[in-house]
Amino acid sequence: MTKYTTVYTSMSLPEIYLIKGKFESEGIVCFTKDELITQTAPYISSITNGIQLQVADDDIDKAIQILQESGYLQAKVSKKTSYKSGIIFIIILLAFLFYIFKKNHVF
């Protein structure tokens, strides 16, 4: 029995159909999950995380490659965390609070 895994999720049915068409043209068998729920009760789709596109585990690598080439998936880029803007915000906030307290003769 073939196991299927979700490779793409969207709230947009036309977007899912476009990707499904790309997969099928490349010979990848795929299925949609929660499609009917999104069509009949769109207010529930946020609970189900939208429409899920599932492919066989054997085709995951090929499907991800197609999604990346089509621009639907972006490669993850690691971002170096900078605390400089947070420190500047705290300094400005403290200066503002000091000004307000000094103006009102709190200390």
Widest pairwise Cα distance in the chain: 76
Confidence of residue 107 (pLDDT cuts 50, 70, 90): low
96 vs 59 pLDDT, higher one? 59
pLDDT tens for 18-59 read: 999 999 999 999 999 988 888 888 777 777 788 999 999 999
Report d(CA 72, CA 58) in Å as an integer.
20
pLDDT at 61 over 90: yes
Three-state SS string across 57-69, please? HHHHHHHHHHHHH
pTM: 0.65
Whether the CB-CB separation of 19 and 72 falls below 8 Å is answered with yes
DSSP state letter for 96:
H
CATH of domain 4-70: 3.30.70
The residue ranges of every structural domain in the chain are 4-70
β-strands 51-56, 4-10: how paired? Answer: antiparallel
Residue 99 vs residue 8, higher pLDDT: 8
